[in-house]
């Protein structure tokens, strides 16, 4: 024991020395001054060093958690990060858990020892080793890998967020984490199987093995709600990884706020790929021809925009294949050309022919200029081919029965406030962003203004230097420092984006990621997947979900239905079958609910029992609030976390849909009959509610229990405590 304590203490000494060295370099870097190029290089180096400081900063707790002894007598220490000998940078003092040679720590068994003789697992408190457990492979009577560390972890009271499992990764989990597959990996597992934490550790592994590619574009993690993202948000930073954006599907359009909720039918319609036809029709509906000719009085002639000429311009613009706003210049150009041709023919009737090219072109130039300044012409263009924004177009579509009808859409999509955005609107707005494109005319004007501003500033700097030279004595010289002064001034036009990658990516709708993790993926619609595939051109995904827990009317009924349109033949399926969270006593109750609505689905097998039976108590409705308060008060006196789950809208409770992916030591489910009544997926919601508990489960009900919960143990007021 003493030698192990001394070795681990030495690792911490080496860690502290490396921290001090990197922090010193970081502080030196911040003092660098110079021109724009130097400052860009300084900022890049500072970001690298800041990441290294964060990487070294995660290792105070559980730096080293085990040792592997090979059959040849060599031994390696396994830990949260890699640490190398100061004198020999190729000599590992501590092996990163993601290194290939560390895999045996997770998968070696007595039956398959992976050329290992012994695995030692450390038990630590802070920086000190308090004990260790040995598993010696190959001896008669030895069993499989011991469960002491695992059971200690799963039985421990829950804290504020999800913990990493780096010290207790199981063999089936490790094989998924290290799987070498460049496409889409689907990880399916029932409640408590660790699929979320496995996906996060897989991200950490990919960032370790593909550092350069992954850090260039970063990783996106998509979760069902903000509470879930907060719950899992500590895992990757605890593993030293920060170039990750955490978001919900409702936040995939930066700056947009979701404030409303769709009806199930509207959500189903918006989630289907058939909505693409509606969106295209809605855009086409705004590309109009006039019902009556539009007359424009010019200086020497009156011209008319009629249906024929506008229709021709519209067809030419559409034929360009460009998005709506980017095709607008083509519409404008064709319409302008046609109008000027007609005007020239009328003005020059009897004296001007096309043979007189110079006169013809001069007149065309004058007419084009007059049209460009003509308020009536500009108004006509805005009416026939308006510049459109996605939010404007969709809001007007959803709040107008006439526009919905014109686009061939169901009236079930109608709502009074078109701009009351829902989660299901996000993929529609994302699609419209591409269908509409940018207003290139405005962009070009802004670029021209910027070019002129820079030119004017450059002229000012030049005048400054010339004036200074004019006032020099003959013995004076114009040094390079004088020119540097001009460069320093010019830096005001050079914007250096010093934000971290995650911050830059989260604020940029057009950012593309190297890898995307999608959790609770069974809830995503076909349109949601279209958005995410657009965000990751390489189609590198880790998809986590459980089809049995689907509650969204637009969610997945099969993984193939969602993925085959995008990655046919490029997605793999892996399942997790062991429940590390839910004790056997609680899982037996949840399995009864699962059998009712998904009889073909096998519930995950619990790895442990807790010795506490789930209970139920029937109460009058008016006594429910006091019983909930009693539960909250009792649990507050215990160590750990608790939650009260009930039907949507019930005071004092949280809907089951908001608890997906979360876990609590104690759960009180209120009014399960009403949860079941919440639409066709109510049973899935109840299944989710029952499987959030890691230790204790209670059920309050005012009506007779559903048959699927008949195995619950009836409890009086005292027994529930």
DSSP codes of every residue in 601-651: PPPPEES---S---EEEE--GGGHHHHHHHHHHHHHTSSS-EEEEESTT-T
Same domain, 445 and 593: no
Residue 406 in domain: no
- Stronger pLDDT, 290 or 472, i.e. the higher one: 290
**What pLDDT shows up at residue 55?**
84
| Domain identity same for 444 and 592 | no
Quick: pLDDT tens for 549-574.
998 999 999 999 999 999 998 999 99
| pLDDT of 532 higher than 70 | yes
User: Do residues 485 and 591 share a domain?
Assistant: no
Rounded Cα distance between 715 and 721, Å, is 9
Stretch 649-670: mean pLDDT, rounded?
93
Q: Exposed, middle or buried by CB within 10 Å (0-12, 13-18, 19+), for 463?
A: exposed
**Lowest mean per-residue pLDDT among 36-50, 58-72, 395-409, 578-592:** 36-50
The answer on pLDDT for 100 being more than 50 is: yes
- Note whether 436 and 389 are within 8 A (CB): yes
The predicted structure's pLDDT at residue 60? 80
Report the binding-site residues: 189-196
> So what's the pLDDT on residue 439?
78
Residue 366 within a domain: no
| Residue 474 pLDDT exceeds 80 | no
Domain membership flag for residue 49 = yes
24 and 141 housed in the same domain: yes
- The angle formed by the CA atoms of residues 668, 155 and 104, to the nearest 5 degrees, is 135
Feature table: binding site for ATP: 189-196
Q: What is the mean pLDDT of residues 627-643?
A: 94
What is the mean predicted confidence (pLDDT) over 22-40? 86
- Mean pLDDT estimate for the chain: 88
Same domain? For 489 and 593 the reply is no
Mean pLDDT computed over 481-498 = 49
For residue 262, tell me if it sits in a domain: no
pLDDT for the residue 528: 97
Q: Are residues 626 and 486 in the same domain?
A: no
Cα 621 from chain centre: 41
Q: Report the 10 Å Cβ neighbour count for 656.
A: 26
Which pLDDT belongs to residue 454? Answer: 61
100, 122, 156 - which closes a domain:
156
Q: Are 518 and 265 in contact (CB under 8 A)?
A: no
Can you tell me the mean pLDDT for 190-206? 94
Q: Are residues 9 and 151 in the same domain?
A: yes
Q: Residue 145: which of 630, 505, 578, 495 has the closest Cα? A: 578
- Do 592 and 701 lie in a common domain? yes
pLDDT digits (tens, 9 = 90+) for 584-619: 999 999 999 999 999 999 999 998 999 999 999 999
Asked if 1 and 147 sit in the same domain, the reply is yes
* 22 is a domain residue: yes
**Banded model confidence at residue 362, pLDDT cuts 50, 70, 90:** confident
Domain span holding position 709? 584-714
pLDDT bucket at 96, cuts 50 / 70 / 90: very high
Domain boundary among 105, 125, 156: 156
Q: Encoding tokens for residue 226?
A: 């903000």
Nearest to 222 by CA among 426, 50, 80: 426
596, 461: one domain: no
Q: What percent of the chain has pLDDT over 90?
A: 65
Which is higher by pLDDT, 419 or 456? Answer: 419
What global pTM score does this model have?
A: 0.85
176 pLDDT exceeds 70? yes
Model confidence at 162, pLDDT cuts 50, 70, 90, reads confident
Confidence at residue 31, expressed as pLDDT on a 0 to 100 scale = 87
In a domain, 52, yes or no: yes
Q: From 156, 187, 209, give the residue that closes a domain.
A: 156
* Model confidence band, residue 14 (pLDDT cutoffs 50, 70, 90): very high
Q: What's the pLDDT band for 530 if we cut at 50, 70, 90?
A: very high
Which pLDDT score, from 0 to 100, does residue 493 have? 47
**What percentage of the chain reaches a pLDDT higher than 70?**
88
pLDDT attached to residue 150: 72
Q: Which residue has the higher pLDDT, 162 or 664?
A: 664
Q: What is the mean pLDDT of residues 291-295?
A: 95
Identify the pLDDT of residue 462: 53
Q: Are 484 and 627 part of one and the same domain?
A: no
Q: Which residue has the higher pLDDT, 458 or 9?
A: 9
Instruction: Label the pairing between strands 75-79 and 64-70.
Output: antiparallel
Q: Does residue 282 belong to any structural domain of this protein?
A: no
Residue 667 inside a domain? The answer is yes
Q: Are residues 589 and 704 in the same domain?
A: yes
Q: What local confidence, expressed as pLDDT, does residue 548 receive?
A: 92
Number of domains in the chain: 3
């Amino acid at each position: 024991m003493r030698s192990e304590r001394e070795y681990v203490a030495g690792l911490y000494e080496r860690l502290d020395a490396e921290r001090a060295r990197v922090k010193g370099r970081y502080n030196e870097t911040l003092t660098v001054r110079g021109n724009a190029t130097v400052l860009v290089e300084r900022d890049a180096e500072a970001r690298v060093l800041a990441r290294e400081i964060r990487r070294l900063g995660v290792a105070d707790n559980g730096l080293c958690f085990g040792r592997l002894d090979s059959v040849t007598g060599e031994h390696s220490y396994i830990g949260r990060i890699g640490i190398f000998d100061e004198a020999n940078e190729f000599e590992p003092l501590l092996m990163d858990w993601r290194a290939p040679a560390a895999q045996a720590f997770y998968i070696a068994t007595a039956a398959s020892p992976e050329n290992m003789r012994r695995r030692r697992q450390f038990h630590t408190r802070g920086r000190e080793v308090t004990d260790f457990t040995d598993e010696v492979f190959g001896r008669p009577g030895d069993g499989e890998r011991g469960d002491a560390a695992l059971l200690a972890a799963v039985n421990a009271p829950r804290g504020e967020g999800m913990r990493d499992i780096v010290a207790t990764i199981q063999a089936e989990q490790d094989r998924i984490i290290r799987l070498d597959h460049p496409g889409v990996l689907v990880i399916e597992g029932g409640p408590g199987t660790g699929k979320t934490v496995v996906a996060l550790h897989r991200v950490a592994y990919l960032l370790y093995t593909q550092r350069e590619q992954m850090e260039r574009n970063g990783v996106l993690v998509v979760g069902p709600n903000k509470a879930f993202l907060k719950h899992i948000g500590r895992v990757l930073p605890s593993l030293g990884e920060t170039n990750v954006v955490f978001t919900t599907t409702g936040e995939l359009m930066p700056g947009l706020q979701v404030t409303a909720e769709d009806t199930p039918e509207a959500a189903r319609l918006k989630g289907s790929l058939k909505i693409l036809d509606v969106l295209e029709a809605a855009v086409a509906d705004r590309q109009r021809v006039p019902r009556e000719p539009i007359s424009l009085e010019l200086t020497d002639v009156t011209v008319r925009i009629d249906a024929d000429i506008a229709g021709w311009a519209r067809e030419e613009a559409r034929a360009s294949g460009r998005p709506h706003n980017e095709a607008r210049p083509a519409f404008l150009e064709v319409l302008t050309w046609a109008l000027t041709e007609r005007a020239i023919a009328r003005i020059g009737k009897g004296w001007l022919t096309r043979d007189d090219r110079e006169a013809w072109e001069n007149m065309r130039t004058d007419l084009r200029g007059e049209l460009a300044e003509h308020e009536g012409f500009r108004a006509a263009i805005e009416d026939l081919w308006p510049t459109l924004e996605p939010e404007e177009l969709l809001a007007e579509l959803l709040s107008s029965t006439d526009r919905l009808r014109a686009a061939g859409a169901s009236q079930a999509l109608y709502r009074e406030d078109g701009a009351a955005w829902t989660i299901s609107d996000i993929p529609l707005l994302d699609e419209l962003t591409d269908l509409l494109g940018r207003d290139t005319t405005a962009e070009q004007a802004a670029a021209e203004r910027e070019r002129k501003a820079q030119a004017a500033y450059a002229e000012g700097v030049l005048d400054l230097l010339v004036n200074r030279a004019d006032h020099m004595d003959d013995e004076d010289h114009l040094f390079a420092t004088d020119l540097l002064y001009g460069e320093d001034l010019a830096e005001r036009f050079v914007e250096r984006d010093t934000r971290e990658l995650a911050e830059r990516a989260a604020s940029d709708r057009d950012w593309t990621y190297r890898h995307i993790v999608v959790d609770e993926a069974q809830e995503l619609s076909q349109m949601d997947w279209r958005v995410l595939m657009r965000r990751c051109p390489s189609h590198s995904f880790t998809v986590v979900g459980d089809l049995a827990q689907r509650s969204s009317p637009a969610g997945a009924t099969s993984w193939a239905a969602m993925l085959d349109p995008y990655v046919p033949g490029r997605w793999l399926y892996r399942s997790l079958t062991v429940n590390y969270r839910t004790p056997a006593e609680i899982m037996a109750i949840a399995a009864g609910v699962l059998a009712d609505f998904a009889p073909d689905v096998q519930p995950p097998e619990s790895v442990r029992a807790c010795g506490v039976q789930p209970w139920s108590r029937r109460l009058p409705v008016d006594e429910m609030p006091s019983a909930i308060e009693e539960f909250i008060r009792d649990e507050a006196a215990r160590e750990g976390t608790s939650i009260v789950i009930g039907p949507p809208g019930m005071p004092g409770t949280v809907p089951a849909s908001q608890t997906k992916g979360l876990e609590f030591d104690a759960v009180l489910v209120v009014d399960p009959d009403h949860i079941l009544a919440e639409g066709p997926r109510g049973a899935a919601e109840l299944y989710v509610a029952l499987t959030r508990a890691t230790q204790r489960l209670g059920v309050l009900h005012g009506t007779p229990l559903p048959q699927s919960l008949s195995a619950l143990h009836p409890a009086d007021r005292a027994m529930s405590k």
